């Protein structure tokens, strides 16, 4: 079954038509749009789960453009799940905003872009998917058009996003010039045969692509826009940016680097390892000093990208690298989505995302506080939550791949990160509040609780996800020897 195409069609059919319902049915249409969006995402989710579990690459109608393999399914499963969370929580969060129909339509367009990006094996398709994913998020980031911060976020995001697309496209065009193709399979065959004079161009093209992708992967030094964009956007959109678009970017990065690695693995791995080190250190140190939860989570998200990069660094040296990358991507997506959505709920109810508004929150919003605390502990890698196991695999992969210093750096960074995660928990559970009891909306809370259940269950029974990631890794590596 050609899952990617079916998913794309299902999502597109809803995404394209839902703005029309507003014209046809007027105000009433919002409910239909919400249901339709949720339904289409649920259908996609079911399809993707089944295709993730079937490991052999399946037929694809457009084999040179989209590869229907379990790696792609796994990543698009993540992003669709996060989009689903964001959609359902937006029912409450975006209530009484203008043009709500379009909001859901744009969410779906982002999901389409991300899904396409997870499966894409042609550089041009990667670029198209990249744009399809980015353009709606620029609009979504600036959705509160009367809010100055939201506008600033959108403008900053758009300018840097456009720049990154340009750089990415430049890298792609160089690669096309070197190898004569944009298809990753053909590139991987012809790259080893190009003459040695071309090496500087390959390096330059790689750096350009890394810089282009890096902006979405939130790696230092391409991270400047992240805190502002996450703070200014509606917080549900921050969840989408941090937990979903970043993961789709990683899917593309894996496919591209798996092709380039065999050419000059040592230099590339070394360069990436330094980037990883800087990324996690900058992210964690900056997060320590933040006064607003969204900014703190933004920097934490940057730091987590540093951990994920470890997986990319040791890709050629240890199977555990890709395994850890996949495993941590999933866990991080759930944890980060849960943390951001909890922050969204607090912002909705207290209209503030300053850390001060979290003082004594456990007394007025007990369930939200618990879910937020749990996801923060998970992000910090406190066992037995899921974040611990995947970080463990990543650090072990670093040791296995000969990068013991990187594992040490990662561990020290985890220790630093505990400080700021814990500070929020301290505020929620140990400080005093003047707030009166707050009603927690049912649908929103059930999403948070569902995420918490996933965090706990995959933490207590880590084997499930580990095995899936391992199978995907082995099947991917057997088709793409690095």
Residues that bind other proteins (CB under 8 A): 377, 382-384, 388-389, 392-393, 395-396, 399-400, 404, 407-408, 411-412, 414-415, 418-419, 422-423, 426, 429-431, 462-463, 466-467, 470
> Residue 8 or residue 361: which is nearer to other proteins going by CB?
361
334/151 Cα distance (integer angstroms): 28
Tell me the closest approach of the beta carbon of residue 123 to other proteins, in angstroms. Answer: 34
298/381 Cα distance (integer angstroms): 17
> Residue 185 or residue 440: which is nearer to other proteins going by CB?
440
> Residue 237 or residue 425: which is nearer to other proteins going by CB?
425
Cis peptide leading into 384, omega within 30 of 0? Answer: yes
Name which of 407, 244, 439, 270 is nearest 341 in CA terms.
244
**What tokens were used for 179?**
């190898």
> What residues form DSSP beta bridges with 120?
66
Tell me the closest approach of the beta carbon of residue 56 to other proteins, in angstroms. Answer: 20
153/88 Cα distance (integer angstroms): 23
Question: Would you state the torsion angle of the CA atoms of residues 329, 333, 339, 344, taken in this order, to the nearest 10 degrees?
Answer: 150
> Residue 10 or residue 71: which is nearer to other proteins going by CB?
71
> Residue 74 or residue 85: which is nearer to other proteins going by CB?
74
171/173 Cα distance (integer angstroms): 5
Orientation of helix 199-217 relative to helix 265-288, angle to 10°: 30
Tell me the closest approach of the beta carbon of residue 270 to other proteins, in angstroms. Answer: 20
Q: Which helix (H) or strand (E) holds 400?
A: helix 386-400
User: For the chain, first and last CA: distance in Å?
Assistant: 28
Tell me the closest approach of the beta carbon of residue 399 to other proteins, in angstroms. Answer: 5
Cis peptide leading into 221, omega within 30 of 0? Answer: yes
> Residue 224 or residue 464: which is nearer to other proteins going by CB?
464
Tell me the closest approach of the beta carbon of residue 380 to other proteins, in angstroms. Answer: 9
Tell me the closest approach of the beta carbon of residue 73 to other proteins, in angstroms. Answer: 20
**What tokens were used for 241?**
């940016």
> Residue 157 or residue 389: which is nearer to other proteins going by CB?
389
Tell me the closest approach of the beta carbon of residue 332 to other proteins, in angstroms. Answer: 18
Note the helical H segments in 233-264.
235-240, 246-260
Tell me the closest approach of the beta carbon of residue 415 to other proteins, in angstroms. Answer: 4
120 three-state secondary structure: strand
Q: Is the dihedral of CA 455, 253, 267, 162 positive or negative?
A: negative
> Residue 70 or residue 236: which is nearer to other proteins going by CB?
70
> Residue 403 or residue 444: which is nearer to other proteins going by CB?
403
Phi, psi torsion values for 402, nearest 5 degrees: 90, 15
Tell me the closest approach of the beta carbon of residue 425 to other proteins, in angstroms. Answer: 8
């Amino acid at each position: 079954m050609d899952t990617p195409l079916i998913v794309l069609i299902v999502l597109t059919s809803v995404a394209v038509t839902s703005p029309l319902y507003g014209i046809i049915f007027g105000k009433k249409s919002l409910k239909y749009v919400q249901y339709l969006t949720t339904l289409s995402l649920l259908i996609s989710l079911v399809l993707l789960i089944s295709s993730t579990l079937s490991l052999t690459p399946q037929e694809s109608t457009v084999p040179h453009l989209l590869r229907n393999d379990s790696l792609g399914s796994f990543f698009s499963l993540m992003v669709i799940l996060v989009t689903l969370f964001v959609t359902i929580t937006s029912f409450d969060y975006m209530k009484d905003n203008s043009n709500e129909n379009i909001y859901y339509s744009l969410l779906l367009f982002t999901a389409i872009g991300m899904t396409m990006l997870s499966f894409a094996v042609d550089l041009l398709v990667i670029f198209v998917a990249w744009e399809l994913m980015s353009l709606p998020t620029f609009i979504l980031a600036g959705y509160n058009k009367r809010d100055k911060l939201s506008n600033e976020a959108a403008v900053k995001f758009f300018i840097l996003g456009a720049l990154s697309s340009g750089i990415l496209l430049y890298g792609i065009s160089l690669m096309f010039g070197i190898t004569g193709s944009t298809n990753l399979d053909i590139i991987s065959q012809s790259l080893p045969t190009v003459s040695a004079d071309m090496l500087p161009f390959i390096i330059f093209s790689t750096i350009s692509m890394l810089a282009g992708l890096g902006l979405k992967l939130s790696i230092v030094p391409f991270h400047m826009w992240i805190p502002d964009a996450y703070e200014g956007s509606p917080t549900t959109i921050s969840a989408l940016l941090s937990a979903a678009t970043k993961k789709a970017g990683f899917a593309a990065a894996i496919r591209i680097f798996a092709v380039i690695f065999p050419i000059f693995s040592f230099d590339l791995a070394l360069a990436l390892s330094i980037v990883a080190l800087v990324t996690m250190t900058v992210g964690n140190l900056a997060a320590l000093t933040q006064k607003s939860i969204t900014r703190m989570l933004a920097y934490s998200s940057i730091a987590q990208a540093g951990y994920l990069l470890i997986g990319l660094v040791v890709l050629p040296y240890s199977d555990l690298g890709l395994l850890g990358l996949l495993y941590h991507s999933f866990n991080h997506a759930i944890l980060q989505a849960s943390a951001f959505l909890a922050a969204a709920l607090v912002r909705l109810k207290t209209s503030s995302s300053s850390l001060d508004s979290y003082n004594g929150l456990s007394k007025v919003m007990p369930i939200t506080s618990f879910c937020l605390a749990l996801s923060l502990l998970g992000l910090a890698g406190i066992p037995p939550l899921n974040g611990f196991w995947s970080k463990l695999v990543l650090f072990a992969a670093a040791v296995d791949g000969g990068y013991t210093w990187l594992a040490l750096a990662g561990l020290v960074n985890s220790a630093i990160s505990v400080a700021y995660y814990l500070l929020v928990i301290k505020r929620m559970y140990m400080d005093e509040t003047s707030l009166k009891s707050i009603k927690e909306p049912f649908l929103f809370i059930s999403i948070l609780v569902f995420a918490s259940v996933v965090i706990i269950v995959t933490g207590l029974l880590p084997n499930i996800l580990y095995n899936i990631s391992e199978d995907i890794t082995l099947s991917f590596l057997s088709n793409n020897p690095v």
